[in-house]
Structure formats: C-alpha cells, structure tokens
Amino acid sequence: MSVLGISLPAMLGQLFIGAINGAFYALLSLGLAIIFGLLNIINFAQGALYMLGAFVAFLLLEYFGIGYWWALFISPLLVGLFSMGIERTLLRQIYSLDHLYGFILTLGIALVIQGALSIMFGASGQPYETPQLLQGGVNLGFMFLPFYRCWVVVISIVLCFATYWAIERTRLGATLRAATENPVLVQAFGIDVPRLVTFTYGSGVALAAFAGVLSGVINQVSPEMGEHLIVVVFAIVVIGGLGSIVGAIVSGFGLGILEGLTRYIYPEISNSVVFIAMAIVLLVKPAGLFGKEA
C-alpha cells in the first residue's frame, strides 16, 4: 500500500521499531531522572548497568538454567543490590561536591564494568532465547507484529507509570521528595535518610537492569550494548527536564518514535535527530520540556 510515494507498511514498521527503542529509552531515562532528581547525581554508569542486567540474565540461564521470566525479577534485584554497594562505598563520598565529580566517577565505574565483561566474554554478542510464550507473532496484512516486541512496549509502559505513581502518589514517594529537599528535617522525624538514598539509587538502576533483560532477547547480550545508548538517553533526560519523571517517560517514548519516523523519511539524520531535538529544546526552554527553572 503506497500513498504519495509513502509505503504505509514500511512506515508503520519503522514507527513500531521506534516505539520499541522508545521503551528502552523511557526505562533508562526514568532511572536517570529518579537518581538525579532525588540524589543530584548524573549517573553515567546507567548504560553499563543496563548491560549488566542483560548479562546477569544470560548467566542465570547459561549456568543455573533460570529462564527469562525469573530473570526479569532476579536480574534487576541483583544489579540493584550491586549498585547499592557502589552508592554506599563510592558515591556517598561526593554528594557535597560539584556535579562534575559524580559524572567522572560514574563514567569510570561504567568503563570498569564494561572492560571486565569484555575480558571475560569478549566483544561479540551472546544470544538470549526468546521465551516460548512470546515466540511468533501475528500477520496484520500490512506488517508482521512479533509478540515479544509488543510485550516489550506494553510492560515498559506499565512499569513507567507504576514508577510515576509510586513516586508522585504514595507516602514513600513523598518521603523521598522531602528527604531531597530537607534531609535534616526528615532525619529528625526518625527516618534513616542515608538508607533511603541507597534504596533510591538501587531502584533507579534496577529499572535499567530490567530494560537490559528485555533488550537482550532483541539485540543480543554484549559488553558494548549500553556504550552509545547512554549518550542518547542522557540527551533525552535533558529534553524532558533533568529530574522530571513525566519528562523522562514522555520524551523517551516520543523521541524513540520520532527516531523511527525519521529513519523512514530521512535516514541520514536518524542517528542525530535526538541531539537536534535537544538543541532546539535548550534554545527554546533551557530547563527542558517538563523541567522547572532554577
């Protein structure tokens, strides 16, 4: 089917691919927004921890026979606990310093994780099997819709809005926000603020690890799978507004779909469209689409 030279099946296919990429962008940028908004740390290790989530799922299957569905729970939990150790031993030492120190430290952590896994497993991708329940797809006549990719989009939307609800509509979320604004006052009410901060960092990283498990089936498991993604995701967080939960979700999905559409209309700039959008947004609204002016 073609209208004015536009192939509808090809365009819809690219839009669907864009929605899948947007699902990964949204989960990663949501984790980044949580960590920056509540801890004031630019977590450049998020891409490496996303990759680590995929590797943990792969190792659970390879050495322990633990399949995809259990890995969706176990991998984010293990990577989240690992990141809590990072927060308590390393990041806690730099909270009072300039943002640049957090950026450099988390970038160094990312390089160490990526380097270690490259030495252990090499740079080539490792296949991760699609769960049997989600194999196959449905033929819509104008395109073939794989079940697994539909699952990725749906579960990402559910998880993003569940996270938004937990932060914006629950007592725990209110406590987290209060601890960010006035930790001394919150501590006076008997709440262990350092433990709360550790939990927040681990939760933000667990979102990235969950995205890594989802991505491992589609993109294979590789030490380099998060290397370039983190730059795009950071740009998306800036567009949405640093620390904005809504901005991270909307910008993640929206720019993923825009990238897919651009790949069909003008593929030469598809890899740059996110950065072009970031430049335009920063010129018009420096705080981001949903960010608050300082």
pLDDT at 5: 52
Q: What is the pLDDT of residue 80?
A: 96
Mean pLDDT, the chain, integer: 88
Share of the chain above pLDDT 70, in %: 96
pLDDT at 4: 44
Average pLDDT over residues 245-274: 90
Q: Do the domain assignments include residue 294?
A: no
pLDDT computed for residue 45 by the predictor: 93
Residues 181 and 38: their CA atoms lie apart, in Å, by 9
Question: Is 25 a residue whose pLDDT tops 70?
Answer: yes
**How many domains is the chain partitioned into structurally?**
1
pLDDT at residue 172, rounded to an integer: 80
Q: Is residue 292 part of a domain?
A: no
Residue 291 belongs to a domain:
no
> Does a structural domain hold residue 149?
yes
Is residue 293 included in any domain, yes or no?
no
Say how far apart CA 37 and CA 203 lie, in whole Å: 13
| Contacts (Cβ under 8 Å, ≥6 apart) of 70 | 60
pLDDT at 18 over 70: yes
Q: Residue 293 pLDDT > 70, yes or no?
A: no
User: Contact at 8 Å (CB) between 98 and 36?
Assistant: no
Cα–Cα distance, 47 to 107 (Å, whole number): 10
Q: Is residue 290 part of a domain?
A: no
Model pLDDT for residues 136-192, shown as the tens digit of each residue: 988 877 677 889 999 999 999 999 999 999 888 888 888 877 776 677 777 777 788
Q: Does the pLDDT at position 1 exceed 50?
A: no
Inside any domain, residue 289: no
Q: What is the extent of the structural domain holding 172?
A: 2-284
| pLDDT level of residue 213 (50, 70, 90 thresholds) | very high
pLDDT tens figures, 67-115 = 999 999 999 999 999 999 999 999 988 887 887 888 899 999 999 999 9
Residue 292: pLDDT over 80: no
27 in a structural domain: yes
Q: How far is CA 241 from CA 35, 40, 119, 199, 275, in A?
A: 13, 13, 37, 23, 14
Residues 6+ apart with CB under 8 A from 286: 293
